[in-house]
Amino acid sequence: MQKNLYSLTRPRFHFWEKIILFFFVILLSLSANAQTTSYTQLANEAQFARAINDKWAAEGWVGGTFSNTPTNDKVLSTNIQRYFFLWAHYYLSPKWKLSSSFAYYYNKDVPDIGQFFSPEYRLTLQGLYYFHKTGYTLATRMRLDLRYMMNAEGDFNFSYRYRQMIKFVKPINSNVLRQGVFYFLSTEELLFKPEAKTKGVNFFDRNRFDLGFGYQITDDLAVELAYLNEFVPRDSGNDVYNVMEFTLTFNNLFPKIKEKIFPRSSDKKKTD
């Protein structure tokens, strides 16, 4: 049977290529014919992870964000946000990780960038699915943010937001992440606010594209430096945030400190 010539010559897109292409189509359609305001920011975060057993792990994040403003071009002069997260992770299978977190955001009053004082309490539910490949890791994350936050009038309101992310991590000088290995990372995330249009806000909330590198200082300590482009479409005009991100990740930090300070008690427990 003779094959159709068109089927032989047309481009074939894999599933994730179609998803990424869909993301960019949305971005191009939203960014057209809109006034854009840009900000330069610096975000720093420390992450502390602790394995509890083979199935459970706990994690804590502490971070803050600095920004330039129209009246001050120095990024570090204006702190706009501080926050902390408490996470619980459950490893359902080698491919599925289910997580939940409680977070508090202290969003400061910064009129220069249109931000009012708006503290926020947030409960997050998420699932992370891994595509394990030789030499790199691809993952997709589904996240639901349940938010209780203060509005401009000083009243607390409940809202929710859905987030879909793709993450790619590629070790550079090894096939696995371990001590002494550099790695490349990239993420693409879309955020949506259901029923938001009734309040004058777009259903599509924002897009976040991340690109950076990391280094495993030890098996339990990693440092990352990345660039984040956050595109926020609004009826009144678009906002673009250019963010340099600095992240430190510690695994089992406090047990290791205890072993260093009290080596005898640790050795005794092992012999018992």
Output the CA–CA distances (angstroms, integers) from residue 50 to 53, 125, 182, 251, in the order listed. 9, 19, 23, 6
Question: Is the separation of the CB atoms in 225 and 42 below 8 Å?
Answer: no
pLDDT for residue 208: 97
Rg (CA), the chain: 22
CA–CA distance, 129 with 16 (Å, rounded to integer)? 13
β-strand partners of 163:
143, 191
Once rounded to an integer, what is the mean pLDDT over residues 57-74?
A: 95
Please report the DSSP string for 143-199 in residue order.
Answer: EEEEEEEE-TTS-EEEEEEEEEEEEEEEESSSSS--TT-EEEEEEEEEEE-TTGGGG
Q: How many Cβ atoms sit within 10 Å of the Cβ of residue 240?
A: 15
Distance CA 58, CA 100 (A): 10
Helix 253-261, helix 263-271: angle, nearest 10 = 100
Asked whether the beta carbons of 119 and 104 are under 8 A apart, the reply is yes
Find, among 67, 64, 58, 59, the residue nearest to 45 by Cα. 64
Query: Does residue 29 fall inside a structural domain?
Result: no
Evaluate if residue 263 carries a pLDDT over 70: yes
Domain span at residue 228 reads: 37-271
The confidence band for 2, taking pLDDT boundaries of 50, 70 and 90, is very low
Amino acid at 91: Y
Q: Per-residue pLDDT tens for 75-119? A: 999 999 999 999 999 999 999 999 999 999 999 999 988 899 999
Q: What is the pLDDT of residues 168-191, one digit of tens each?
A: 999 999 988 999 999 999 999 999
Determine contact, residues 92/100, Cβ cutoff 8 Å. Answer: no
- Chain position carrying tokens 């010559």: 9
Distance separating alpha carbons of residues 227 and 245, to the nearest angstrom: 6
At residue 7, the pLDDT reads 40
80 located within any domain: yes
Give the C-alpha separation, 197 to 205, whole Å.
10
Percent of the chain residues past pLDDT 70, beyond the cut:
79
For residue 12, tell me if it sits in a domain: no
Task: Give bridge partners of residue 251 from the DSSP assignment.
Answer: 49
Q: In the predicted model, is pLDDT for residue 165 greater than 80?
A: yes
Residue 32 lies in a domain: no
Indicate whether 234 pLDDT > 90. Answer: no
Regarding pTM above 0.85, the answer is no
Residue 178 has a CB neighbour count (10 Å cut-off) of 11
Separation of alpha carbons 14 and 239, rounded Å: 32
5 inside domain: no
7 within a domain of the structure (yes/no): no
Question: Does the residue 111 lie in any domain?
Answer: yes
- Count of domains in the chain? 1
Q: What is the pLDDT of residue 20?
A: 54
CATH number of the CATH domain containing 88: 2.40.160
Examine residue 222 and state whether it is found in any structural domain, yes or no: yes
